[in-house]
Amino acid sequence: MSNKLNHSMSLASPDAFHISTKQKFALGIGLVGLLILALALFNVNLPNTALFLTLALGLITVGVIIYSREAYLTKLEGIKNDGVWYKSISSRGFWGWALGIILTSFYIVLYFFPEYLGLGKDGAANTGLIRLFDPLSNLLSGRNASQWFVYGTLYTIAILAFGYKYILKYRHNRYQQIRTVSVMFFQLGFAFLIPEFMYVMDNDLPYYDLKSVWPLNYYIFDEWSVKGFLSNGNLGLALIIFGIASTFIITPILTYKYGKRWYCSWVCGCGGLAETAGDSFRHLSSKKLSAWKLERWLIHTVLVFSVVMTTAMVYSYLGKDSNNFWLTRDVFIISVIAFLTIIFAGVMYFRGKELGKDAKAGAIGYAVVIALLLIMHFTSTTDHLFFVKGSALRSTYGIYIGSIFSGVIGTGFYPILGSRSWCRFGCPMAAILGFQQRLFSKFRITTNGGQCISCGNCSNSCEMGIDVRAYAQKGENIVRSSCVGCGVCSAVCPRGVLKLENDTMDGRINPTEVLLGNDVDLMDFVNKK
């Protein structure tokens, strides 16, 4: 037993602070790996970069594996809280804030000051941390590393190493194991290796993460990207067609059948990192009503911003003369407005009653988008949109969505706001998929209120801030736009109350105030469902 004061009342693990000798050893070798990266960061001349890079990444990975095996394989299967609210790093204590500051600082330097990481400018050789990754980059694509390669490598290592930890922790649940293997596969293959191999095939081909879908992949429709794809023959054209099809055909079909979980919990790299490396912080997601209200307004504001900015981005490099190209600015803006109008009218007609008060917010959002597009069209010049130069507008979009929000805040604030703060408050892709999931999807989480013991494990483990217990107590289906379908609420339930389903859309949403103990025939109520 530790001599430290312990407030835990857990019978399963009365000493929440104790770690074994093996875990201390694992932490030690992991810290040695981080030390090597730190030495490279501070420009210490490491003689054999390939060897030291292998040592650094290998020690970090092995450290995580040994620590995880000792933490979970010595215990019975099943989910335990293991004192997460008593550990400084996972309860917004000193070490939690320290880690948040370090991660946030790293992202700021990565995005805005890569020279401090050692990025060589104007053809100069790399130094520092980026130089350490040159051998791996040359091995995969035949070019020196960039700050994005360093980031991608560390990102992939984190998902793979902590993915193994996640599999051990949730080894009693087959769904969690398969889902974790899926995000590990897509990150390693589609996000890391394939783009590097594509560069080897044709170094003029723009970077393309095949699993990244608009509006997350906001740059696919930029002028330089489109020209780059079209200049690379059939392969480039196929990638553009795939990007369009994935947005308007593949995504809606998969979301209809499986909900947004097919992407947010099975494919997306942001979700993959949140589920693996961020699993220790999932309970930090705020369950307050104020957080839910902020979530609704903020994420849909980002969605409006993304739609308008993407339209403006394409609009900026189109001409007005149909003799040069049939898709003129006039044709494009009319097509976009018509498409949005059809979607809005369809939603109001088929789901207006279901939306209730949200229909008013949807109408406001639609009106704002249309108004902004019309203002852009009638005030635009050859080089300016919204009275701002087109190139500056495109870069601003990338900085605020791709950098500040998704990176700096989304990942840097894991120990402060929880692992899904980006997915919950800022991801436009999550907003679009959530819209489809709530209104036009077979996915739901069914509940059995008669079995709920109100332990609160489900709500505590929900990384999206959903009060799952409130639904479970009423026996009400959980159909929420924000739900990513991770299934952890079901995995931690000791009574099997929660079940992930893809069934008929009839009776998906059945809000009711019926509680056990009320004067009601429960069998009649069940049969009506």
pTM of the model: 0.85
pLDDT at 308 over 60: yes
Average pLDDT, the chain: 83
pLDDT digits (tens, 9 = 90+) for 116-171: 998 888 778 888 899 999 999 999 988 889 988 999 999 999 999 999 999 999 99
Residues 6+ apart with CB under 8 A from 46: 36, 39, 40, 52, 132
Percent of the chain's residues with pLDDT above 70? 86
Q: Which residue has the higher pLDDT, 391 or 514?
A: 391
Q: Which residue has the higher pLDDT, 369 or 81?
A: 369
Strongest mean pLDDT among 49-53, 417-421, 511-515: 49-53
Whether the Cβ atoms of residue 88 and residue 96 lie closer than 8 Å to each other:
yes
pLDDT at 520 over 60: no
Nearest C-alpha neighbor of 419 from the set 243, 324, 279: 279
What CATH number was assigned to the domain covering residues 442-528? 3.30.70.20
Torsion of CA 266, 267, 271, 273, to 10 degrees: 100
pLDDT at 97: 93
pLDDT at 65: 95
Q: What is the mean pLDDT of residues 310-321?
A: 78
pLDDT at 26: 93
Q: What is the chain's length?
A: 529
pLDDT at 509: 76
- CA distance to 36, 254, 257, 467, per residue, from 246 (Å): 41, 10, 15, 32
Cis peptide before 195 (omega within 30 of 0): no
pLDDT digits (tens, 9 = 90+) for 418-455: 888 888 888 888 888 988 898 889 999 988 877 888 88
pLDDT at 398 over 70: no
Whether the Cβ atoms of residue 448 and residue 497 lie closer than 8 Å to each other:
yes
Alpha-carbon span 183 to 269, nearest angstrom: 7
pLDDT at 1 over 50: no
406 conformational bin, left if phi > 0, alpha if psi -120 to 50, beta if neither:
alpha
Domain ranges of the chain: 18-75+113-201, 442-528
Strongest mean pLDDT among 78-87, 263-272, 382-391: 263-272
Residues 6+ apart with CB under 8 A from 59: 29, 30, 32, 33, 36
pLDDT at 232 over 90: no
Residues 6+ apart with CB under 8 A from 455: 494
Confidence label for 505 from pLDDT (cuts 50, 70 and 90) = confident
Report the SS3 class of residue 4.
coil
Q: Which of 7-11, 96-100, 293-297 bottoms out in mean pLDDT, i.e. has the lowest?
A: 7-11
Alpha-carbon span 514 to 260, nearest angstrom: 28
Helix (H) or strand (E) holding 109: helix 94-112
pLDDT at 45: 84
Nearest C-alpha neighbor of 161 from the set 26, 52, 277, 266: 277
Confidence label for 237 from pLDDT (cuts 50, 70 and 90) = confident
Alpha-carbon span 421 to 457, nearest angstrom: 20
pLDDT at 512 over 80: no
Confidence label for 515 from pLDDT (cuts 50, 70 and 90) = very low
Number of H helices and E strands in the chain, helices first, is 24, 4
pLDDT at 523: 61
pLDDT at 2 over 90: no
Q: Which residue has the higher pLDDT, 79 or 364?
A: 364
Q: What is the mean pLDDT of residues 57-76?
A: 92
Report DSSP letters for 320-384, one per residue: S-TTT-S--HHHHHHHHHHHHHHHHHHHHHHHHHHHTTHHHHHHHHHHHHHHHHHHHHHH--SSE
pLDDT digits (tens, 9 = 90+) for 264-275: 999 988 889 999
Confidence label for 396 from pLDDT (cuts 50, 70 and 90) = low
